[in-house]
Amino acid sequence: MKVLVTGGAGYIGSAVVHQLVAGGDEVVVFDNLTQGHRAAVHPDAVLIEGDLSERGAIDAALSEHRPEGILHFASHTLVGESMEFPFRHLGNNVRCGLNLLESAVDHGVRRFILSSTANLFGQPDRDLIDEETTISPGSPYGESKFILERILHWMDDRFGMRYAALRYFNACGALSPDLGEDHDPETHLIPLVLQVALGQREHVTIFGDDYDTPDGTCIRDYVHVADLADAHIRALHALDGGSRTYNLGSGTGFSVREVIETCRAVTGHAIPATVGPRRPGDPAVLVASSERIRGELGWSPRYDDLRTIVESAWAWHQSHPRGYGDRAPHAS
């Protein structure tokens, strides 16, 4: 299938592009490279440097390449930033998504995959989160994704757009030692902890150890980026059977302390950790029930072992201590 991937130069998007190309799909990446990296784009994919805020640029890409499907990753994703600058996330993510969808409808594209988020569930009322769990987004970022899910519902109803909304829990790991996570600023736990092992940070701060969990630190569901990529490809090829929404996690939770311990074991570094205050908005436990996608698409995570996940991330960080190396010199 020929597909257009927005954000295909980013962490998750680039991993999906690599898997699509490996499976024989033809890929056009549409990315403005503000967060993505040219070096992360598969060499066999076409790269269009474009911005989703410009409807004309999307129209041109769809007219020229005529994809059968679109996978939409490009967005502002930082939860904390979205609390500070809600218009950036609500405005930009929704406007850009609408531009893309309107253009898709006009160009006859009827398959769409949305990268959605566990942040839709805010402070969930249960520990194992399935698709029936009450939606109450925890931030403007989560709300922007929920709005896009609802818009897709109507695109299906009105235009027969078949879509899959995939709600990721904690994406992590690296597809290969040459394709990994490189954010600026970095806010995610595993890369931050590994930066301590690389000597780039003095210590890691644990955001609260007084939660109602066995060791007092937050529990999250860490799902490997290769497993996420596999889920996208299965969802894309299943769309003719109808639209669908899935929660995507490994179904197993690990605490912040367990993650740090595993990073110590993998790297052999002491990784000093200090306890700081809770981070506002963090739920104690966030673990997905992925029963629906397991049952319907036969998906199951191959990397449900935290050690293997951290080993893959560590291989990437060791071989690319400065990420893709395309940051401005002041960035850390």
Q: Which residues are catalytic?
A: 141
Shortest distance in whole angstroms from residue 331 CB to ligand UDP: 18
Q: Which residues contact 96 (CB under 8 A, 6 or more apart)?
A: 52, 53, 74, 75
Q: Report the C-alpha gap between 179 and 296 in whole angstroms.
A: 29
Q: Report the C-alpha gap between 183 and 326 in whole angstroms.
A: 11
Binding site for ligand UDP (CB under 6 A): 170, 187-189, 192, 204-207, 218, 220, 256, 279, 282
Shortest distance in whole angstroms from residue 202 CB to ligand UDP: 12
Shortest distance in whole angstroms from residue 253 CB to ligand UDP: 10
- 311 burial (CB, 10 Å; 0-12 / 13-18 / 19+) is middle
Shortest distance in whole angstroms from residue 148 CB to ligand UDP: 18
Nearer to ligand UDP, 53 or 332 (CB): 332
Q: Mind spelling out the 3-state secondary structure of 255-279?
A: EHHHHHHHHHHHHCCCCCEEEECCC
Shortest distance in whole angstroms from residue 170 CB to ligand UDP: 5
Q: Report the C-alpha gap between 252 and 254 in whole angstroms.
A: 7
Cβ(210)–Cβ(279) below 8 Å = no
Spatial CA neighbour of 227 closest among 146, 165, 308, 112: 308
Question: Could you tell me the two tokens for 244?
Answer: 């669908």
Nearer to ligand UDP, 133 or 187 (CB): 187
Q: Which residue has the tokens 């436990």?
A: 285
Largest CA distance in the chain: 57
Shortest distance in whole angstroms from residue 194 CB to ligand UDP: 12
Coil, helix or strand for 250? coil
Nearer to ligand UDP, 159 or 207 (CB): 207
User: What is the torsional sign of CA 290, 295, 300, 306?
Assistant: positive
Task: Give strand pairing partners of 247.
Answer: 167
Residue with nearest beta carbon to ligand UDP: 218
Q: Report the C-alpha gap between 186 and 42 in whole angstroms.
A: 23
Task: Give strand pairing partners of 2.
Answer: 26
